[in-house]
Structure 1
Amino acid sequence: MLKRTAHRIALLWEKIFDRLFNRTGKDRLIEAYMGYATDEYLIVRGRVLTALRRNKPQPHQSRLTNIKQILSLFLTDEVADVAVSAGTHKAQSDEEGYFQILVPRGDQYGWIDIDVTIEDRDGTTACPVLIPDPRANIMIISDIDDTMLETGAYSLARNLWTSFSGNALTRHVFPDAIELIDALSDKGRNPVYYVSSSPWNLFSFLTDIFTRTNLTRGPMFLRDLGLSETKFITEGHGNHKGGSIDVLLNSNAELPAILIGDTGQKDAAIYKDVIDQHPDRIKAVVLRTPGAGLDAADHADIAALSKTGIPVFHGRDFKGMTEKLYKIAFE
């Protein structure tokens, strides 16, 4: 009852905010996300907004400036019910402006750009899509926060402080994560995907960090923090991550996967569920242990994960794991 009431109040305030700040205006443009491929289609993804919010941080700017810039990324001006198309293939933006266009898959592979247009608007937006190399023998599915990027997601207070007080030039990416992903991707032959609880509002922010640190590029599966008539804020962390991994495994039916995550957000339990649903598809699991280390629940989750027979590696860092995983990936 309380959640239902809060949902109704939030919807009302969003409608008021839309009118006050002209979010129902007629400006239209596309924020392009990185799409992915299934055996039959290219999934072209993006969001229709009235304006793109981007920051140009400086290395030594104040934390207050960082907080203001991050908060500005959440003031999205999304536009619903807009027709978008890639050639003859069409889609409609949903309540939060998101869209997916299905384009039949051809013989190309690697990164390609699909031009997307908005109905009754001039110009196109290039939406990148990753098509796995036919020589690929594995895919890598990785978490981001506290796996690739130091965040402190195991503590809500630490997570919020780290996420909001830093900027794309100051956030720390673990060097051992860059090394591991680079080795497993094998110069782009094996596709890399990132599944995170971070919201889509931080897509450009995360992309800037990846570019700065040379972390291997890959389609991201982030969360929608928006409101709709049927959804209050977002689905849970586990449901989002498990569901996204399920989509990727079904999209790449011939490729086994290595799952990379951390113990701070109970990835061991989530990955155990994935293995139960997709037996014989997971070749190894890698977990970073952030914060104070493993608690009793973490030990139990890792023990249950190990009983599946899948190789499980966990530790404070990924040092010494690259060579072992490389052998597993290419055996």
Structure 2
Amino acid sequence: MKPYQIIYYRGFGSPSAVWLTGRVLRQNELVSPADEASFWDNLSSSVGRFLTHEVSNITVRIEAFGQVFRTVTNKEGYFDITVDPAIDPPVAQAWFPVRYTLEGILQPEGYEGAREVVKDGQLMIAPAYSQFGVISDIDDTVLVTGATSLWQTLRLTFLENAFTRLPFAGVAAFYRALQSGAVTTLFNPVYFVSSSPWNLYDLLIDFFRIQGIPKGPILLRDLDISPTMLSAGGHHLHKVAMIRKIMAVNPQLKFVLLGDSGQQDPEIYADIISENPDRIVVAYIRDVSRENSRDTAVQHLIETAATHNVPMLLVPNTVAAAEHAAALGLIDPDTLPEIRADRKADQE
């Protein structure tokens, strides 16, 4: 049998509520990609992400903040728990250690002997001095995906790796500027929300690291091949639920939203704005649509957001969004040359 693996997903929360989630599988450990991996290596790694052997009904012991919490995996191997850390976080700290252990489980013989199955991870709590939070889509907002084309999405997912996938030009520098804020000693938390499956989590972690995109929780969803998951409605409901969760555990923060016009980000963000008009500073929508009818629909949603006194902008590129953010006082204007240079380098 293959070894047990605890796949942890970066947790997040506040001094009174932290959300922790992950998955328990039996598989060989996934390795980071090589820069010049072959077609077959990429395909093999990608297929391996989806051919999983889930471990259900296993107790996971979670150690964080000097406390112990427990939860149990479901039939797909996922665990999910919200805990009250009951702490007063250090002023200058945003990331905190967390340890996951499978209770009563030892690795099978041949895998470094009989030992506990342990995984060390991290969780993020926004510091009290954060000015705002950032919630960003991933597909066709950060990562070039072609999400409006199924075949393009499949080709990029299965035949490319974290080194060969492309970011949208200038994204890394812009997101670093947002995280730093107008005063570059600050830390504004960045959250990434997507309807892509959790199976792609390790690829996204590697991609963000390689591209220099700020570290933050990445919220994906269970791979459930069903009409609900594949429908626009399933995509919409998942992302709205995740954004609500982020906002619920950060009641002190306002948010900047970033997405694209290709799928439903404008509709999703319009819903969030209507629910919480006083907590959304601005929404930036990258224009990736080639259809006039889609631009017309997005424009209508922009007008709806304006009735709540929240600007939603349809922007052609990262630099346009960054210039507007600088004018609003969200980022340091001195970061604009770096963002322009980053966009040019990415394009080249």
TM interval, short-chain normalised:
0.7 to 0.9
User: Offset at 1:35?
Assistant: 0.4
User: Offset at 1:123?
Assistant: 5.0
Q: Which residue of 2 aligns with 1:253?
A: 251
Counterpart pick for 1:74 among 41, 44, 50: 50
Structural RMSD (CA): 2.4
Q: Is this contact kept in 2: 1:176–1:318, CA < 8 A?
A: yes
Query: Which secondary structure does the structure 1 equivalent of 2:319 belong to?
Result: coil
Q: Distance in 2 between matches of 1:233 and 1:321?
A: 30
Cα offsets for 1:232-269 (capped at 9, x unmatched)? 78981111111111111111111111110001112111
Distance 1:329 1:204, change over 3 A: farther
TM-score (ref. length: structure 1): 0.84
Q: Distance in 2 between matches of 1:52 and 1:265?
A: 35
Counterpart pick for 2:4 among 17, 20, 28: 28
Q: Distance in 2 between matches of 1:143 and 1:52?
A: 30
After superposition, where does 1:57-206 map in structure 2 within 5 Å? 57-87=33-63, 88-105=68-85, 106-108=87-89, 109-121=93-105, 122=116, 124-186=118-180, 189-206=187-204
TM-score (ref. length: structure 2): 0.80
Distance 1:321 1:59, change over 3 A: same
Aligned residues between the structures:
304
Query: Which secondary structure does the structure 2 equivalent of 1:120 belong to?
Result: strand
Q: Distance in 1 between matches of 2:118 and 2:144?
A: 36
Q: Is this contact kept in 2: 1:145–1:151, CA < 8 A?
A: yes
Counterpart pick for 2:276 among 253, 275, 278: 278
> Is the counterpart of residue 325 in structure 1 residue 332 in structure 2?
no
Counterpart pick for 1:307 among 304, 307, 312: 304
Letter in 2 for 1:204: D
Q: Which residue of 1 aligns with 2:207?
A: 209
> Is the counterpart of residue 288 in structure 1 residue 286 in structure 2?
yes
Identical aligned residues as a percent: 32
User: Offset at 1:271?
Assistant: 0.8
**Any unmatched runs of 5+ in structure 2?**
106-115, 332-348
* More off after superposition, 316-325 vs 212-221: 316-325
Distance 1:153 1:227, change over 3 A: closer
Distance 1:232 1:168, change over 3 A: closer
Q: Is this contact kept in 1: 2:15–2:84, CA < 8 A?
A: no
User: Offset at 1:205?
Assistant: 0.7
Q: Is this contact kept in 2: 1:114–1:127, CA < 8 A?
A: yes
Q: Distance in 1 between matches of 2:283 and 2:21?
A: 28
Q: Is this contact kept in 1: 2:4–2:27, CA < 8 A?
A: yes
**Any unmatched runs of 5+ in structure 1?**
1-21
Distance 1:294 1:217, change over 3 A: farther
Distance 1:330 1:172, change over 3 A: closer
Query: Which secondary structure does the structure 2 equivalent of 1:33 belong to?
Result: strand
Q: Distance in 1 between matches of 2:61 and 2:329?
A: 38
Q: Distance in 2 between matches of 1:178 and 1:273?
A: 27
Q: Distance in 1 between matches of 2:69 and 2:125?
A: 18
Q: Which residue of 2 aligns with 1:17?
A: none
Q: Is this contact kept in 2: 1:184–1:329, CA < 8 A?
A: no
Letter in 2 for 1:90: R
Letter in 2 for 1:48: V
Q: Distance in 2 between matches of 1:250 and 1:50?
A: 34
